[in-house]
Structure 1
């Protein structure tokens, strides 16, 4: 089981002081948060990709390469790479380069994003979002698994005899998660390739994500990658902690009430009741997170959002201390208890290279030329 954090990189005013950090301060804070994640024993740091204010992470591989040079163990990922508006050739090259620089400590999450105007900014049509996601990933997968690629599709110029460079480290491409909050087509796509499915269940009730994850697990087995229980599932979460719940609620409420993403909507109490958000003591975070296995089955990766809504860096680093020292050690022990032996651990480069060398599946996908849903 892998535990980590993800950031959306928002530049938001602190509602308690009125101060808004500069873009430079926010970028440097994200790096400090990543380094702190490794220091406190977390496994993963993931950054989003945005191309509009008030967000700063427009170049995830630049940031992750910088973090890679200052860490030794942390898996570096994204918490979305825009498969719809990025050129698959550039994704293939950028992440393979990052994979080499980080000695394999890299994976990524494909997604369509949640900002409509990004499509025309990059010359795409939002009405083609799902077809773009399916075709672009088919090309990306081909670029990573075939040395010489001939390609013709709907959304980009053809390729003839093209080789993406550098080739993936050790001949094994970065592990791919497909992130979605509402689209069964994306769950189907993840299942078809034998990739991971990340349900970023931070805003909606669990029943919605149970349906998506159940679909993904069934289709993963249908395509011959293993049993439904062996499919790779990741989940999102949110937490704010203090030693006692009253202090946590009192301190976090102004940030929640004014957050761009959910402020001025449901109350803090309503939101914590209906979503994974936990505002309280470390023990309350432990108890709520453990219920995720009851809802979704054994899974491989749990990421928390902790640095948003204008929270100052000092507060976020305090949160990471609590997460790493008091929450994650207990979660590791509890999630390991009763976990069936056939359920895989979270994906790592070393494990996937070992699987490839022994002839086992390394998530190389289904038959070339087939179509998800076939």
Structure 2
């Protein structure tokens, strides 16, 4: 009821524009807003619908299926397992590229330019962009779709921002499964943008074919920008923002990285890592990055190591999930019932850490 005792009139939401915050808008009573449209509950996704939609390249169904895969709810596990089982035979035919770099290197700008050029060349590109999760609130901005606005609107692109959730390596817990669904949906290039958290980037190195390190020049000592361990894992280093007044500095930095790579042992046997410079702003040098990835794949296929690397990655994935499952099962089991009590004894110094672990594992 308003101040005159009359019931407020219903008006379309668009009619609210142009009013001031101090005014009481129609449809607002007692300080609370209400909607004229009843909220519809979305029907749960079924396995047949999910698989059919994914194979038909429906981005809506793909996004919903990924949500099921990422869910931690026990009720979603059977559906997630069924979707993965049926999509697995249709996966594995993409080029998987991991992209990392120091903050401010322009990863999102580079990925948008790179992705758009690939789409225009006839490829279908899926971007799995991982946002850092707050250690305090547990929240994540998930703003990659706004940073890659043009690419997100392209009919041959699919962008999936996901929270890292504290996962080692700055990648989401279900990134590997998400890649499989995207491949089943027909995306032949998978780009995984990681948070860029240092040596723990080894996690993404184990799930992609080509590992790209993005750097910038003119920001101090280039070699101090990221740790040696990450440089050693890179199949290529690209110095971004090589345009305008920064072009010469970028070329100098490219030369420095090239010399560094010469003295490091390459992560991929038989491949010599390259250092390049590009401008994601005007597109200069971006085509050369894709050509390098193509040369990399051709060289590994000729050597017969392309498929064997994928097999090794699958085994490592299996061991990682097995360790996670065993640890989770342990904490859920009856053997962990006395965990709090033993923690208290350890904290008080009554029991050594070694003895406490032995009591839990071998009671």
Return the TM-score normalized by structure 1.
0.34
Largest Rg, 1 or 2: 2
Looking at secondary structure, tell me which structure has more helix per residue.
Answer: 2
Return the TM-score normalized by structure 2.
0.34
